Structure 1
Amino acid sequence: MLFLAALLLTVAFLVGSVPAGQVLLSRAGVNVRLNNPYNLGVENVLRRVGPGLAFSSAALDFLKGFLAVLMASSLHQPEVTVLAALAAYLGHLYPPARLYGETLPRGRGNLVLVGTLAALSVTGALPLWTVLLPLLVYAGVTGYWGYVSLATVLGLLTLTVLIAALPTPIPVKLAALGLLVSATWRFKENLGRILDGTEPRFGDDVPMAGKRSDEVVAAFMIHPMTLENFWSAQRFAFLKPLVERGVVTEKSVRQLAEKFRPMKVGELRGIRTVDGKSIRCYLISAPLLPDVFTTQPELATQRAIEGARLAHELGAEVFGLGAFWSVVGNKGVDVQAAVPEITVTNGGAYTSGSIKAAIPGIVAHFAGSGRDLKTATAGIVGANGVVAFGIARTVAPQVGKVIMLGRDMDRLERSAATLRRAAKETEIVTTTRYDTLHEADLIFTATSDPNPVIFPQHVKPGAWIFDEGRPADVDESVARVPGVRIIPGGVVRPPGGMTSNIDLQFGEGQVPACLAETLIIAATGEHDRKSLGPQTLTENINFFVEQAGKLGFTVVD
């Protein structure tokens, strides 16, 4: 009898694992990865593929659960019958790779659950009312709040509580608990998005690339700069008091962050170009902290690739790499090669273009404040880099002296030689010492250092600082130096009334230029203009500056 029970449970698992609905949709020519319920919900599958295919797929999932339980009921043992419901659900969620290879994406499994519950009632394994009440809870929560994932978990919680209160065998109680735990784990990302305010509600029309002529969809990958940023997301907010009380160590939080795969944490809405095109942008994060990008570059690249795949599955046409993501995988080259289905960009072209556009305004404002540019000293921090050197070339002919600060003196001298030929009347000096900045009236900084590099002792009163570093190169304490003005670089205001559920820390209604590049590519359809690798074409820089003006993007200076 025990052997037969084990055999029936195995059969129930295998029946549940059959990808019947997915195969049906695939053979009908439907891209199940972009239209599957895992991302969109059965109601959106109905909207996108039509009632015939949607209901046929749903019916097959229902039958899987129903038949799996019906076969197990032949033993006339309630505990085996209820355990078969759990086995069928697990089979649907975790089909054996040896049978199906790279399995097709699975849906929420709600129809499988309904099928198992219907069979449990029909076979008498559970009283009818213990099945109907969870279904009523599911319908009520879905109707009132609109969150299918929450409704599923609360419905199964109701079932678990009811069975726990009945004089049923222990295996039955454990099977009900197993359904609850499995569903909660399956919906962990959905529940996290509910906390973050980004989970679609029942009936919401989730956008997809190419579905509307007046709307485009993009995605952008971010990461926390500090631990404070990590638990600013509502799904991780519970960690903050635990760390503050010493219950959880910062080290363990950092280790935990490395385990998370990319997830949708936010969304930008309300962006509308001058020509009337709407841009929706998903914010995706794998919460790696800045030091991980240096210590574990392979992990960072893998997470970026996973983020690109998620962006594609969510319907995005363009995927932007922000902050330290922009340098992983040979500055996006490896990410694009791994996920050719979506356009990947590191945002370098418009970042350079936005700086190029902002410098004249900053210099003009500086001169307009009563300063004499011809006697002013400009400090260029990170001058070994392409961006900072570009700033130096723009500024050098306009000031009396330029201090080029970097880490490699040989490269600095070669760059300085180029500047001296272009700006013969300007004094050009090179250094690796930050204290030399104290004589600078204007400071332009663009490093990739994860920590601040400019502190109060480096800055003289009244200096203007243009900070292009991400994260910021200028420590917060510098703002207390009398007369100092700190101007964030590479900040752009998209057209329309942009709203976001999370703080990007660039000011209300503003985004970094690398994100703006992602939006511009999506809006124009000029996917060949993407920025990948270390080289940035001048023609692409000019393209983004020109298109930004036409679409209504403005550089903040």
Structure 2
Amino acid sequence: MAFLSVLLLVLAFFVGSLPLGHWLLSRMGVDPRVNNAYNLGVENVLRRVGPGLAAASAGLDFSKGFLAVLMASSLGSRELCVLAALAAYLGHLNPPRALYGGVPPRGRGNLVLLGVLAGLAVAGGVGFWIAALPVVVYAAAVGYWGYASAATVLGLLAFALLVAVSPLGIPAKLGALGLLVAATWRFKENLGRILDSTEPRVGEDVPVAGKRDDQVVTAFMIHPMTLENFWSARRFAWLKPLVERGVISEASVRHMAANLRPMKVGELHGIKTQGGKEIRCYLLSSPLLPDMFTSDPDLATRRAIEGARLAQELGAEVFGLGAFWSVVGNKGVDVQAAVPDLTITNGGAYTSGTIKAAIPGILHHFAQEGRDLRQATAGIVGANGVVAFGIARTIAPQVGKVIMIGRDMERLERSAATLRRSVKDTEIVTTTSYDTLREADLIFSATSDPRPVIFPQHVKPGAWIFDEGRPADADESVREVPGVRVIPGGVVRPPGGMTSNIDLQFGEGAVPACLAETLIIAATGEHGRKSLGPQTLTENINFFVEQAERLGFQVVD
């Protein structure tokens, strides 16, 4: 008897793991993993393939759960029927990868749950109402709140409580509790999105790439710059008082952050180009703090790839890598190779473009204050980088002296030699010391350092600092130096009155230039203009500057 029970549970798991719906859709030429809004599910499949195929796929999933319980009922054990229900559900959630030829799609399993409840009501001997009331609770919760994920958890909570007070034995009670725990774990991301107000309700129109000519869908990867930013997502807000009171250590939060896969934490609404095209943008995050990118670059690259795959599931056409994500995986090259069917950009071209657009205005205002540009000294911080060297190349002909500061002296000298050949009347100096900044009247900074690199001792009174760094290269204390003006760089205001459910730290209605590049690529359809790797083509920089103006994007200066 014990052997047959174990065999039936193994068979129930196998039946639950059969990808019947997946095989059906694949045979009909539909890839259920691509452009799939959030996760697989009846409503999402209905949205993609129509009522006929959706109903057939749903029926196959229902039959898996029903059949698993029906098989278990042959031994006449009610407890075994509940355990078989759990086995079938776990099989659906965690099928062997070989059945899918790779990574299985992340199905919700609601139809399998409905099948097992129907099986328990008809053949499982648990009592009609014990199996039926959870369905009633689910329907009521969906009708009231509109969230299928929360409704599923509430329905299974009702089932677990009903089984707990029933005469059924301990195995059945544990099986019902197992269903509740498995579903809650499966829906943890959906429940987090409910807290963040980013989970769509049943019946809500979810944008899908290519569905409408007047709408494009993008996604952008962000991360917290500090622990304070970590709490900005509502799903993590409960941690803040615990950390402040010492109940949970900062090290524990960092460990948790390192183990969290990318998730959807926000969405940008209201972006509409001057031509009338709506741009939807999902904000994704794997909450690695800045120092974690340098301490574990392999982890950062792996999370960026997972973020790209999530963006693809969300239906995005273009995926942007922001802040320190922009430098992982050889500045996006490895991420693109891992997810070849999605356009990925690190935003470098338009970031350079915004600087190109902003510098003339900054120099004009500088000169208007009676300061002679030809006698001025400009300091370029991070001059080993593409963006900072672009700045040096732009301003060198207009000032008397340029101080190029970077970490690699050999590379600095090669870059300086290029400038000296093209700008013979300007003195070009290279150094790795920040102390030389004290000479500079104008400071342009664009590093990828996770901490400030410019402090009051590096800045003379009256200096202007154009800070392109994200996070900021200039420490807040620099503002206390008399006459110093700090100008944030790379900030863009998209057209149409953008709103967001989370603070991006760039001011109301504004985004970083790397995010704006993601939006512009999607709006223009010029996917070949993406920025990957260390090289940024001048023609692409010019393209983004021109297209941004045409579409209605404005550089904030």
The interval holding the TM-score normalised by the smaller chain is over 0.9
Q: Tell me the number of residue pairs that the alignment of Structure 1 and Structure 2 aligns.
A: 557
Residue correspondence of structure 1 range 436-451 to structure 2 within 5 A: 436-451=436-451
> What's 1:461 paired with?
461
How far residue 336 of structure 1 moved from its aligned partner, in angstroms, is 1.3
How far residue 30 of structure 1 moved from its aligned partner, in angstroms, is 1.4
TM-score normalised over the length of structure 2: 0.96
The 3-state SS of whatever aligns with 1:83 is: helix
> Are the aligned partners of 2:36 and 2:313 in contact in 1 as well (CA < 8 Å)?
no
The 3-state SS of whatever aligns with 1:268 is: strand
> What's 2:53 paired with?
53
Cα distance in 2 between the residues matched to 1:415 and 1:534? 14
The 3-state SS of whatever aligns with 1:533 is: coil
Structure 2: 5+ residue stretches without partners: none
> What's 2:118 paired with?
118
Cα distance in 2 between the residues matched to 1:28 and 1:3? 40
Q: Deviations over 1:319-347 (max 9, x none)?
A: 11111111122211121122110111111
Residue correspondence of structure 1 range 171-210 to structure 2 within 5 A: 171-210=171-210
Say whether residues 1:548 and 2:544 are aligned partners: no
How far residue 422 of structure 1 moved from its aligned partner, in angstroms, is 4.0
The 3-state SS of whatever aligns with 1:435 is: helix
- The 3 A distance-change label for structure 1 pair 223 and 37 is closer
More moved, 427-436 vs 522-531: 427-436
Could you tell me which amino acid in structure 1 is paired with residue 230 of structure 2? F
How far residue 543 of structure 1 moved from its aligned partner, in angstroms, is 0.7
Cα distance in 1 between the residues matched to 2:410 and 2:87? 66
More moved, 349-358 vs 5-14: 5-14
Cα distance in 2 between the residues matched to 1:520 and 1:38? 24
How far residue 39 of structure 1 moved from its aligned partner, in angstroms, is 2.0
Say whether residues 1:39 and 2:39 are aligned partners: yes
Q: Deviations over 1:25-73 (max 9, x none)?
A: 1111112113657626422321321111111111111111111111211
> Are the aligned partners of 1:63 and 1:112 in contact in 2 as well (CA < 8 Å)?
yes
Cα distance in 1 between the residues matched to 2:267 and 2:499? 8
Residue correspondence of structure 1 range 49-198 to structure 2 within 5 A: 49-102=49-102, 104-123=104-123, 125-198=125-198
> What's 2:366 paired with?
366
Cα distance in 2 between the residues matched to 1:102 and 1:214? 34
Cα distance in 1 between the residues matched to 2:410 and 2:102? 51
Could you tell me which amino acid in structure 2 is paired with residue 295 of structure 1? S
Could you tell me which amino acid in structure 2 is paired with residue 146 of structure 1? G
Cα distance in 1 between the residues matched to 2:498 and 2:141? 31
> What's 2:250 paired with?
250
- The 3 A distance-change label for structure 1 pair 407 and 104 is closer
Q: Deviations over 1:348-399 (max 9, x none)?
A: 1111111111100111122223333233332221223222222122222323
> Are the aligned partners of 2:221 and 2:321 in contact in 1 as well (CA < 8 Å)?
yes
> What's 2:22 paired with?
22
- The 3 A distance-change label for structure 1 pair 200 and 41 is farther
Q: Deviations over 1:143-182 (max 9, x none)?
A: 1111100010011111112222223211111111000000
TM-score normalised over the length of structure 1: 0.96
> Are the aligned partners of 1:36 and 1:107 in contact in 2 as well (CA < 8 Å)?
no
Structure 1: 5+ residue stretches without partners: none
Q: Deviations over 1:509-557 (max 9, x none)?
A: 1111111111111111111111111111111111111111111111111
Cα distance in 2 between the residues matched to 1:71 and 1:443? 75
> Are the aligned partners of 2:70 and 2:124 in contact in 1 as well (CA < 8 Å)?
no
The 3-state SS of whatever aligns with 1:291 is: helix
Cα distance in 1 between the residues matched to 2:454 and 2:84? 64
Cα distance in 2 between the residues matched to 1:447 and 1:190? 36
Cα distance in 1 between the residues matched to 2:477 and 2:135? 57
> Are the aligned partners of 1:82 and 1:125 in contact in 2 as well (CA < 8 Å)?
no
The 3-state SS of whatever aligns with 1:39 is: coil
> What's 1:506 paired with?
506
Cα distance in 1 between the residues matched to 2:100 and 2:439? 68
Could you tell me which amino acid in structure 1 is paired with residue 381 of structure 2? V
> Are the aligned partners of 1:35 and 1:45 in contact in 2 as well (CA < 8 Å)?
no
The 3-state SS of whatever aligns with 1:102 is: coil
The 3-state SS of whatever aligns with 2:131 is: helix
Could you tell me which amino acid in structure 2 is paired with residue 17 of structure 1? S
How far residue 423 of structure 1 moved from its aligned partner, in angstroms, is 4.0
Residue correspondence of structure 1 range 254-333 to structure 2 within 5 A: 254-333=254-333
Cα distance in 1 between the residues matched to 2:132 and 2:2? 31
Cα distance in 1 between the residues matched to 2:391 and 2:533? 20
> What's 1:472 paired with?
472
Say whether residues 1:520 and 2:528 are aligned partners: no
Cα distance in 1 between the residues matched to 2:35 and 2:421? 59
Say whether residues 1:234 and 2:198 are aligned partners: no
> Are the aligned partners of 2:268 and 2:498 in contact in 1 as well (CA < 8 Å)?
yes
> Are the aligned partners of 2:39 and 2:106 in contact in 1 as well (CA < 8 Å)?
no
Q: Deviations over 1:294-336 (max 9, x none)?
A: 2222222222122111111211111111111111222111211
RMSD of equivalent CA atoms? 1.8
> What's 1:486 paired with?
486
Cα distance in 1 between the residues matched to 2:428 and 2:44? 62
How far residue 429 of structure 1 moved from its aligned partner, in angstroms, is 3.2
- Percent identity reads 78
Cα distance in 2 between the residues matched to 1:345 and 1:25? 31
> Are the aligned partners of 1:40 and 1:206 in contact in 2 as well (CA < 8 Å)?
no
The 3-state SS of whatever aligns with 2:498 is: strand
